[in-house]
Structure 1
Amino acid sequence: MAESPKRDTRDTTPDPKGRTQDRLIEHSYDGIQEYDNPMPRWWLTTFALTIIFSVLYVLNIGPIGAGKGWIADYEADMKAFAAAHPAPSGNDVSEGALLALVGDQKALAAGKSTFDAYCASCHRQDGGGLIGPSLVDNYWLHGGKITDIYKTVVDGVLAKGMPPWGKSLKPEQLTAVVAYVVSMHGSNPPNPKAPQGELVTP
């Protein structure tokens, strides 16, 4: 049997103290009826304000409260971080200076120490590649020039899990380890990892 149309029988007659009585809507489900109790106005107002705020926040219309907007706050935070963690300076990282270290046995010994401590777990102690790519062949993922290798070491490759070592190693450690990596080229370790990246002619 089709349900009869709902009929509003709300009682809006004020009680003796001037308050509106509860309003009962005449419809029922399994004998249960309900009152027509609207949401409090303060709740509706708060809900509307949250919607307005969310639109302003997404559009980055500042200032909302403190600051100039979340994008401006993010850029300011990045500048502050960069100022607190400056890139290595005071060290010659030109191509000529780096190549000169490849022939410096003292620098290579220091580079090997750094490589064994920080790089071997991913590239293998002989540079043949493990989690990371092989460092002894002619294929490179991010450039094979010595300055490219230096940049990769300093900046890292976060997408591949390589951290930016420029933030944790000293300038002399960075240049020495890059020189050591270049010195390993062509060493032909046993069972190296398959070549990755683009061929770079020596």
Structure 2
Amino acid sequence: MSYQPNDDSETDKLSGHMYDGIQEYDNPTPGWWNWLFVASIAFAPFYLLVFHSPYQENTLAAQYDRAYADNLRLQFGEIGTLEPDADTIIQYMDDPKWIAVGQITFKTHCVTCHGKEGEGISGPNLTDNSYLHVKQIEDIAKVVQEGAKAGAMPAWGNRLHPNEVVLVASYVASLRGTNTAGGKAPEGNEIPPWPKQ
């Protein structure tokens, strides 16, 4: 037995669709609901740009990493001003506390060209054994400081603390030989292994 409307006003509200003997009312979604749906779609690209940007992550973990590195920079007084020589770079390659500063500096400034893991995007792959402008380990700090390729690799010496230059050089040196999957093909020449500490 199906439901029969009592008057014409109820008939106007019916959808004309019947399922299992039940007449359906034509109840459209409220306008505010539709606008909320449209607004969420319009908001999505901005959310993606801000929180999932390939250039700088704004997740809580990334913010923590940056705050941690900022705190470590305050402790630079403990190590003084580092010299960008081979011994210093090698020494800090194996120091987890200070290599974290180099890693965060890399993730903040270098991922645009070199990728998150150093695999290379427009810049060279830093995880293989071939280098364009590096023949010795101390050349990494020189390239970071002075730039290379007529400005394609910008000079960071005037924007980074000298210790950050050394520590990011240590981090980049530590990437050698990791051969990240999906990395760019080797560029330049293969060079001898880094000297031992």
Structure number with higher helix proportion: 2
> Which runs of structure 2 are paired with 1:146-185 in the superposition (5 Å)?
146-159=137-150, 161-185=152-176
Equivalence for 1:108: 99
Assess if the C-alpha contact under 8 Å between 2:82 and 2:88 holds in 1: no
Identity of aligned residues (%): 37
Tell me which of the two structures has the higher relative contact order, counting C-alpha pairs closer than 8 angstroms and 6 or more residues apart.
2
Which of the residues 139, 142, 149 maps onto 2:133?
142
> Which runs of structure 2 are paired with 1:52-71 in the superposition (5 Å)?
none
CA 1:185 to 1:131, structure 2 compared with 1: closer, same or farther past 3 Å? Answer: same
Aligned partner letter, 2:125: S
CA 1:160 to 1:192, structure 2 compared with 1: closer, same or farther past 3 Å? Answer: farther
Larger Rg: 1
- Displacement of 1:97 in angstroms is 1.3
The CA deviation string for residues 44-76 of structure 1, in whole angstroms up to 9 with x for no partner, is: xxxxxxxxxxxxxxxxxxxxxxxxxxxxxxxxx
Equivalence for 1:189: 180
- Displacement of 1:91 in angstroms is 2.8
Cα separation, 2, equivalents of 1:170 and 1:91? 10
CA RMSD of aligned residues (A): 1.6
CA 1:90 to 1:109, structure 2 compared with 1: closer, same or farther past 3 Å? Answer: closer
Equivalence for 2:70: none
- Displacement of 1:160 in angstroms is 5.1
CA 1:194 to 1:154, structure 2 compared with 1: closer, same or farther past 3 Å? Answer: same
- Displacement of 1:154 in angstroms is 0.4
- Displacement of 1:158 in angstroms is 5.0
- Displacement of 1:188 in angstroms is 2.0
Q: What TM-score results when the alignment is normalised by the length of structure 1?
A: 0.54
Q: What TM-score results when the alignment is normalised by the length of structure 2?
A: 0.55
Cα separation, 1, equivalents of 2:93 and 2:121? 24
Cα separation, 2, equivalents of 1:126 and 1:93? 23
- Displacement of 1:113 in angstroms is 0.4
Equivalence for 2:123: 132
- Displacement of 1:143 in angstroms is 1.6
Unmatched runs of 5 consecutive residues or more in structure 1: 1-88
Cα separation, 2, equivalents of 1:159 and 1:93? 22
Total equivalences in the alignment: 114
Aligned partner letter, 1:99: I
Which of the residues 106, 109, 112 maps onto 1:121?
112
Mean CA deviation greater in 93-102 or 108-117: 93-102
- Displacement of 1:107 in angstroms is 1.3
